[in-house]
Structure 1
Amino acid sequence: MTLRTDTLVEADSDRWFRRYAVSAAPRRRLLVLPHAGGSAGYFHSWGTAFDRDTEVLVARYPGRHERLTDPCIESMEELADHVTAALLPFLDVPVSVFGHSMGASVAYEVALRLESRHAVRPAALHVSSRKAPHRLTPRTLHTESDDALIAEVRRLGGTNDALLDDPDLREIVLPAIRADFTVVGTYGPRPETPVGCPVHAYIGDRDPSTTPEDMAAWADVAPEGFDLTVLPGGHFYLTEQHAPLLGTIARQLATTG
């Protein structure tokens, strides 16, 4: 199998991923896909949280931080296409994919594209705080006022209030937030298309938008194996449960080679 790794894709990879390179050649990689309104910076601590054999890539979505001037993306299909193309140069070792909230849906779509278009199965799919693809329902929040959008971001947590309170900063971050909520609101439900790798699901026990039962439905697309981890916390349980979550992921990564 020959993967496309020309200059364009390599340039896209530099733009799309913050890479936490290890000192020696990695034995495995973990791709991390942030939530709606999120950025690579939220997952900075993950870059050095695993062993020296694991290289971490964190997605840089357009319209924020280093990519502030890049046009935002408003469809799941386009977002997953770009992430998949940028990932191609990194498939020389087993790759696991982790996505939180919106990122979980992106991770699922990337896994499907790797299999169907490139005959590559991820080592594992890790999904956090997001309903299974066939359980999703369209939402219209992205069409509502700025105040309604900000209220939902505050309800879920995970975003620095200073960004939302300061009018100038809010003006900078709102386009990316609205674009991401457009991605979320216009995606789903999807057919129960299975992935060819194990699926590991995670949820906070006080999540206001997703329940453990919602996460358990990911088993319907996981014929190669499924497990669910419920941790204390809300939608952003992964902040307060940082060590237990990363410990669990590290043990699972260690089985990939």
Structure 2
Amino acid sequence: MSPTASPGTAGRAGASADTDRWIRRFRPRPEAAVRLVCFPHAGGSAGTYRPWAEAVDPSVEILAVQYPGRQDRYREPGVENIGELADLVMPALRSAVAGGRFALFGHSLGAALAFEVARRLTGGESPDLLVVSGRRAPSLIRQEAYHRLDDAGLAEHLEHLSGTDRRLLADPEALEMILPAIRSDLRAIETYRSAPGAAVDVPVLALTGDHDPWTTLLEAAGWSAHTTRGFDLRVFHGEHFYLAEHQAEVLQLLARRLSPVSELR
């Protein structure tokens, strides 16, 4: 500690550094009415939501979670357990949204993680809304083990999902960098099991593509069993990464639902 720094100052600096490590603000909007905290898909990074930060309604500020093991956190080991990852992100998230309205959005793996984070935020800490995208309800289990594939098989799986730049998949050096984080994330989501009867006291909005091979409409509707508040399901044309095609529609929907008079409340 610097000889001129008080313990309290050092503590605040450390907390700020930890928040910055986990949370990205690509376009700060301190006057925004609500913050939307976004959780990426398996293998994804906070940068996925940079375009959202520019395009969303000015009443909303986008915050994006950066998982270990990618981009500027490349040297950190991935976290292979959804509950553990939720516990790790909690202090930074609490700091980032302190004193204001906020909501949680997660796509694919991010949906399960956002759900677990929402479970940990109770009482006055609860978000206004939980948005789960491209992911079946936690109580609906599929036996999957893509994380056990060899590198060639995993690259082929990613190509099928259409969520990874094909140029990266064709570049051996790039694959060597990205596959460990993807494998770690897949292990986390494929071994994820929620607590029996797990639910949040938060309105839930489920979004999905009508041709998503990894989430059927019935599986997306199953999220209704995991909330004690309002539930709604919105279906978009597209596959697992329908968000890329429907960014404007999704952001407009989220801005409406995050307005002070949402019909889900």
TM-score where L is the length of structure 2: 0.89
Q: What is the distance in 1 between the residues matched to 2:12 and 2:228?
A: 34
Instruction: Report the residue type matching 1:81 in the other structure.
Output: D
What residue number does 1:143 align with? 148
Of all paired residues, the percent bearing the same amino acid is: 41
What residue number does 1:173 align with? 178
Q: What is the distance in 1 between the residues matched to 2:261 and 2:64?
A: 19
In structure 2, do the counterparts of structure 1 residues 204 and 21 end up closer, same or farther at CA, with 3 Å as the change threshold?
same
In structure 2, do the counterparts of structure 1 residues 191 and 6 end up closer, same or farther at CA, with 3 Å as the change threshold?
farther
Q: What is the distance in 2 between the residues matched to 1:182 and 1:193?
A: 21
Q: 1:42 aligns with which of 31, 45, 48?
A: 48
Instruction: Report the residue type matching 2:37 in the other structure.
Output: L
Larger radius of gyration: 2
Contact 1:112–1:195 under 8 Å retained in 2: yes
Q: What is the distance in 2 between the residues matched to 1:202 and 1:251?
A: 15
In structure 2, do the counterparts of structure 1 residues 21 and 182 end up closer, same or farther at CA, with 3 Å as the change threshold?
same
The CA deviation at 1:138 is 4.4
The CA deviation at 1:15 is 0.6
What residue number does 2:116 align with? 109
Q: 2:239 aligns with which of 217, 226, 234?
A: 234
The CA deviation at 1:144 is 2.3
Deviations 1:6-37 (A, max 9, x none): 44432221011111344443321100000001
What residue number does 2:33 align with? 27
After the TM superposition, which of the residue ranges 19-28 and 240-249 deviates more from structure 2?
A: 19-28
Deviations 1:153-173 (A, max 9, x none): 111111101111100110000
Q: Does 1:11 align with 2:32?
A: no
In structure 2, do the counterparts of structure 1 residues 54 and 129 end up closer, same or farther at CA, with 3 Å as the change threshold?
same
What residue number does 2:160 align with? 155
User: Structure 1: any 5+ residue segments left out of the alignment?
Assistant: none
Q: What is the distance in 2 between the residues matched to 1:229 and 1:56?
A: 21
The CA deviation at 1:201 is 0.4
Q: What is the distance in 1 between the residues matched to 2:143 and 2:124?
A: 30
Contact 2:37–2:62 under 8 Å retained in 1: yes
The CA deviation at 1:41 is 1.7
Contact 2:25–2:64 under 8 Å retained in 1: yes
In structure 2, do the counterparts of structure 1 residues 136 and 190 end up closer, same or farther at CA, with 3 Å as the change threshold?
farther
Q: 2:58 aligns with which of 36, 40, 52?
A: 52
Contact 1:137–1:189 under 8 Å retained in 2: no
What residue number does 1:211 align with? 216
Secondary structure of residue in 2 paired with 1:177:
helix
Q: What is the distance in 2 between the residues matched to 1:48 and 1:57?
A: 12
Q: Does 1:134 align with 2:139?
A: yes
The CA deviation at 1:225 is 0.2
What residue number does 1:67 align with? 73
Q: What is the distance in 1 between the residues matched to 2:47 and 2:224?
A: 30
**Number of corresponding residues:** 251
Secondary structure of residue in 1 paired with 2:44:
coil
Secondary structure of residue in 1 paired with 2:125:
coil
Deviations 1:67-104 (A, max 9, x none): 11122111112211122221011231111000000000
What residue number does 1:197 align with? 202
Instruction: Report the residue type matching 2:244 in the other structure.
Output: T
Q: What is the distance in 2 between the residues matched to 1:256 and 1:97?
A: 17
Q: What is the distance in 2 between the residues matched to 1:186 and 1:226?
A: 26
After the TM superposition, which of the residue ranges 220-229 and 18-27 deviates more from structure 2?
A: 18-27
Instruction: Report the residue type matching 2:117 in the other structure.
Output: V
In structure 2, do the counterparts of structure 1 residues 37 and 91 end up closer, same or farther at CA, with 3 Å as the change threshold?
same
Contact 2:29–2:61 under 8 Å retained in 1: no
Secondary structure of residue in 2 paired with 1:188:
coil
Secondary structure of residue in 1 paired with 2:20:
helix
